[in-house]
Amino acid sequence: MSVLTHIEINNISKLYRKATTESLSNVSFSINVGQTIGVLGPNGAGKTTLISILCGLIDSSSGYVSYSSQKGNDISGVDLKKIIGFVPQEYAFYHELTPIQNMNYFGSLYDLSMEEIKEKTNSLFLVLGLSHVANEKINTFSGGMKRKVNLAIGLIHSPSVLFLDEPTVGVDVQSKLSIIEFLKEIRNQGTTIIYTSHHLFEAEDFCDELLLISKGEIVAKGPTKKLIEENKSDDLQSLFIKLTVPE
């Protein structure tokens, strides 16, 4: 399969059934391979809706998203699913099973062989600190450990582009730091990452560029330092307050 080189988001809008206002309105931007984009905004701004559309989980009401290969062709269908990893804010695994059992199940959905699943599982568990609990039921885990399992499942098929919706919400400081350090490693290896968070300073440290959304519209996009200077703000927090409107 051709390697991902570019993602183009063109005039995406989303109006949910029975809603009177759009959750997203004419959102357009582009992402190059290897970039880390932080999507920030107040609750209800449209962050999760945007991520869900980019992942193909829901359809937009208008506009389109295109994934391009090195050959200039669009990547779609089964090929697209193979290069996308999604780590939702909600836990997306079977709590009554062990981490290994979950990895075996989700790995099989990507048609990975048992040998491939075992190799990838061992590698991810080692770096995420899950090896010692690999055979314990997840319903006994702390929030931080569950977040790490969520992340491992999203990476089982070695995706080219990874979508993260609040990956460190509700975890302790040590778990948060280890998760971010791991994400920095895979970013440095060329994985494209689109990331939403309410942790502004975490986003500032982790992301190449920031995308600020308010009431379904992009209000700013670019490198953090440049955005702060252009908007005559003291820091990211003051920029966020200045440009976004609470729902």
pLDDT tens for the chain, 247 residues long, are 447 778 999 999 999 999 999 999 999 999 988 899 999 999 889 999 999 999 989 999 999 999 988 777 788 888 888 899 999 989 999 999 999 999 999 999 999 999 999 999 999 999 899 999 999 999 999 988 999 999 999 999 999 999 999 888 877 888 888 888 889 999 999 899 999 988 888 888 888 899 999 999 999 999 988 998 999 998 888 999 999 877 5
Strand 84-87 relative to strand 4-14, pairing: unpaired
For the chain, the maximum distance between any two Cα atoms, rounded to a whole number of angstroms, is 54
175 Cβ contact partners less than 8 Å away, ≥ 6 residues apart: 142, 143, 144, 145, 147, 148, 168
Q: What pTM did the predictor assign?
A: 0.89
Q: Identify the pLDDT of residue 75.
A: 86
For the chain, domains (ranges, CATH) are 4-243 (3.40.50.300)
Number of separate helices (H) and strands (E) present in the chain: 9, 9
- Distance from the Cα of residue 50 to its chain's centroid: 11
Reference 217, options 46, 66, 54; nearest CA is: 46
